[in-house]
Amino acid sequence: MSSAPDELRAFLAARDDADAAVSATMRSQLLVGDGPEAVILLHGLTASPPAWDSIATALNAAGATVVSLRLPLHGQADRLTTALQDLSAELLTSDLRDVVEAVAGLNKRIVIGGHSLGGTLAIHAAATLPQIERIVAVAPFLGVAGLPQELHPSLVPLIRALPNVFLWWDPVVRENQQPEHGYPRYPLHALAVGIEIADKVYDDANRVPQASSIDLVINAQETSVSNRTVRRLAQRWRRASAPVTVHRLVGLPPSHDIIEPARANSLRVRDTLVQLLLGERLAPEDAVYPI
């Protein structure tokens, strides 16, 4: 007779098996713990589950059951795949809803941690999915750094009107961009997908979210996403009496990819993120953390 973890493992395996192009090293991962919490970790755009390896291992060592989830159309062995041209808000949000329902079969408190686009999805889950106990969104993509949120209603149609061309994360190293468990480029329309999900949450932020605890983590020297929009969402949610805290990390170099184990500074933030994911209240209100 199969156990709940076995059923979840089979669900995740079938989900990855549905995409024959997925790499064996970039599949969703399940680490079973004996503690009361199940933590779902969501990577960013073009990344894959190994981006969370260091944090997932630490969480599991503390007793948490951890699901490092491969987002749809990610993790393919061909790093120059064009699969992400088919990315959509509905694909991402409906897939996560199905995963949360499967994880709920463990009868544990469900926590979602997300980075970048994964942080956007975590925030959407906090607002819409009743099974979620709390979320920790790390450098969530709620908008582009330096671009006022007020321009989003004009920006999204503009992006959609342009050809869905691929852009290199680093136009100098191009296909040699590291780490190997991520794609070196992204389609332009993926930016519109992230903004559409984020703006839906922002527009509805006058209502109390489903999650009972929301932690938003930003790097003071963020290079890619809009910290201003993160703070504005927190303010809107607070006016609706939502339990939201903004954690500002100070001391990191200019960076966005602060969880990736291959990056030099990821270990500096690991313990802080693990504490938040385990529900340790580092501060009752917005706070700054020297890293």
Kindly report the number of other CB atoms within 10 A of residue 61's CB atom.
Answer: 12
How confident is residue 287, by pLDDT bands cut at 50, 70 and 90? confident
pLDDT in tens, 89-108: 999 999 999 999 999 999 99
Between strands 132-138 and 213-219, the pairing is parallel
Domain that holds residue 213: 4-290
How much is the pLDDT for 233? Answer: 96
Whether the per-residue pLDDT at 289 is higher than 90: the answer is no
Whether the per-residue pLDDT at 162 is higher than 70: the answer is yes
Kindly report the number of other CB atoms within 10 A of residue 164's CB atom.
Answer: 16
CA 261, 262, 268, 269 torsion: positive or negative? negative
CATH of the domain at 252: 3.40.50.1820
The phi-psi region of residue 73 (left if phi > 0; otherwise alpha if psi is between -120 and 50; otherwise beta) is: left
- Burial string for 80-91 (b: 16+ CB within 10 Å, else e) reads eeebbeebbbee
pLDDT in tens, 24-57: 999 999 999 999 999 999 999 999 999 999 999 9
Say if residues 102 and 75 touch (Cβ distance below 8 Å): no
**How many domains does the chain fold into?**
1
How confident is residue 118, by pLDDT bands cut at 50, 70 and 90? very high
Q: Which residues contact 5 (CB under 8 A, 6 or more apart)?
A: 30, 32, 65, 106
